[in-house]
Amino acid sequence: MSILIDENTTFIIQGITGREAVNMTRECLDYGSKIVGGVTPGRGGRDVYGVPVYDTVREITTRERVDGSVLTVPPAFVRDAAFEAIENGIKLLVIVTERIPRAEVAQIIELARMHGARLIGPNCLGIISPGKSKMGGLGGPAEDTRKVYKAGSIGVMSRSGGMTTEISNALKAAGLGQSSAVSIGGDAIIGSSYAELMPLFEADPETKAIVIYSEPGGPMEAQLASYVSENNSRLPIVAFMAGRFMDAMPGMRFGHAGTIVEGKQDTAAEKIGRLTEAGISVAEEISDIPKLVKQRLSADGEASE
């Protein structure tokens, strides 16, 4: 199984005629994803690699079942595009765009909650359920994606799109596949945190362990530690904490907009402590992750792949 998407998931791409979106469309189609339409106002009637382009979301949702949407529109238009998708019944949004005003992201998240929709991102590369579908740019071209990702039982969540792929590659090289991998987004405000995605992995019987890639800044690791402790999570978790050097540089930003260390609670050392106290294993190096995953699976009586 998988979370969020599978081989039957249908989705659209908003902003499909943009340069990056055109490349993404081809990559997703080549991987086998089911893209049923694209939206760029004023360019209806065209097509992108055979995917019909419409002026509005409603033109597609009245004709097709649409499970999700990938948003690649410029920052100034993301809120309107997201509202249009949510108000037309789309339940899964992947926002690739970065540099969206925080207030507007908060408004999108609130509307999504009111309509029972799930938001991934912004500033993310999307989702992949290996061998089934991908929404977004994770893994790049389909041929490269197939080399890195393979179906299996390890869930992957990362604030960095590139590190989602790096970790999945390390797992595959060690014979461990992924149930689903999610690039959750690197901005200060995002739609779905580690803790908010955990129940989905918990409900997937084929997911046996979780790997997360994390960075200094923000409350997500504390939230994850609390979730694991309060819910007696069945899933062993292995984490890698980047940016440990930032502990000596308060106020510095590492990589993403959401990695500003504003106090002791945001430091790598503090986060590592909280994760460890919750029973989450913390790897020193990316290369250590597969070994730790296998150790945790073995300790929990699960057979590694």
Catalytic residue from among 256, 271, 294, 296: 256
On whether the CB atoms of residues 280 and 225 are closer than 8 A, the answer is yes
CA distances from 232 to 198, 225, 229, 281 (A): 12, 11, 5, 15
Indicate if 115 belongs to the active site: no
CA torsion angle 268 270 275 278 (round to 10)? 180
Give the C-alpha separation, 126 to 52, whole Å.
22
Q: Report the catalytic residues.
A: 256
